[in-house]
Amino acid sequence: MCHRRAGRGRFVHLAKGVRLSSLMRPPPHILVVNGIKVRRPVFVLGAPHSGADLLARALKRSPGFHVTMGRTAVAHVVYAFARRPSIMRRKGGGAVRVLRDALAEAWQIIPGACAECPASCREAGAVTGAGPCASPAGIVRFGDANPDLLYSAPVLLQAFPDARFVQLIRDGRDVTADMLADRASMSWSRPGMLSDETEFPNPFLGVNASEHRDKWTTMRPAGKCALRWRSAVRLSAALRQELPRDQLLTLRYEDMAASPGETIAAISGFLETRVSKVALYGTTAPKVGAWRARLRPDDVTLVEKIAKEELTRLGYL
């Protein structure tokens, strides 16, 4: 075997990879973090404000899990992949190494590591003071729920062929209402986001061709949110076609809100380990159907026009 160090993790080259559909996987590696082999890591995917943070909270508070959310090193890589998908397709496996190294750094449990986490991650892990959110002695599973992780799913699969993915689907109108109220979510909607260097099609912004640039630039914010949601659910549908059932679980936010116990039971069965129910109860989760009171009628019309096919296919129209 050959060994190399990257970031703070150690990778062990084992054997040649195999094909999954059209993806050629690079030689698989075992990532070792804090002396623990990363086996079957869990990645939570979804469009913005689809409930991925709530599910990550449940996983993060479950025995044996170490789940990160929004760590800077991972966010930079994920955002770069989302904005320029061609990076993921370059030969040589560079994208895989970069993402794996970023996760190796994020999963390290050392003094002061949690100080680098955003407030949402610390709150999800009930972290107080300067202490870490987990102890290496009790960890058996790693995971990440970084926003926009969905766009890196192909690279994650190559980096961790045994990974488990859980994706959340939510009504695009509720997603739009929450995005419009979130300054961070709307920061990407500035006209300058579509520069001359932008790649097309651009799943991150939901713009398919360069000739649509001017139309996107002048589009109302609700329409831009609808495009992002539409693109995200299309990526989610593609994953369902690519991945076997034992690697991907798709959940509806509405079902999770109505029956959190049943949702947690489904996740526990899928991951073959106990997931905390308590974390989903008593949270201030966004209400289902709140778009009716929060979106203007003309914004509702615009969202339903842009995403009619997906809203209908998923049973929301």
pLDDT band at 309 (very low <50, low <70, confident <90, very high): very high
- CA-based R_g, the chain, Å: 19
Mean pLDDT to the nearest integer, 79-106: 89
User: Token digits for 55?
Assistant: 């599910």
Is there a contact between 173 and 316 (Cβ–Cβ < 8 Å)? yes
Structure confidence at residue 281 (pLDDT)? 67
> What one-letter code names the amino acid at 165?
F
Query: Which distant-in-sequence residues (6+ apart) come within 8 Å of 200 by Cβ?
Result: 207, 208, 209, 210
Domain ranges of the chain: 1-170+246-285, 173-243+287-317
In this predicted structure, the answer to whether residue 13 has a pLDDT above a threshold of 60 is: no
Structure confidence at residue 255 (pLDDT)? 94
User: Token digits for 41?
Assistant: 């890591």
Is there a contact between 129 and 8 (Cβ–Cβ < 8 Å)? no
Mean pLDDT to the nearest integer, 293-312: 97
Structure confidence at residue 236 (pLDDT)? 95
52-72 pLDDT, tens digit each: 988 998 998 888 899 998 888
Structure confidence at residue 269 (pLDDT)? 95
Mean pLDDT to the nearest integer, 33-57: 92
* Of 200, 150, 195, residue with least CA distance to 175: 150
123-173 pLDDT, tens digit each: 666 666 656 666 777 888 999 999 899 999 999 999 999 999 999 999 999
Helices within 36-171 (DSSP H only): 52-60, 72-83, 86-89, 94-107, 119-124, 153-159
User: Token digits for 239?
Assistant: 């994953």
Collapsing DSSP to helix, strand or coil, 143 comes out as strand
In this predicted structure, the answer to whether residue 95 has a pLDDT above a threshold of 80 is: yes
Instruction: Point out the least confidently predicted range of 17-31, 50-64, 239-253, 274-288.
Output: 17-31
User: Token digits for 166?
Assistant: 């859980």
CATH number of 1-170+246-285: 3.40.50
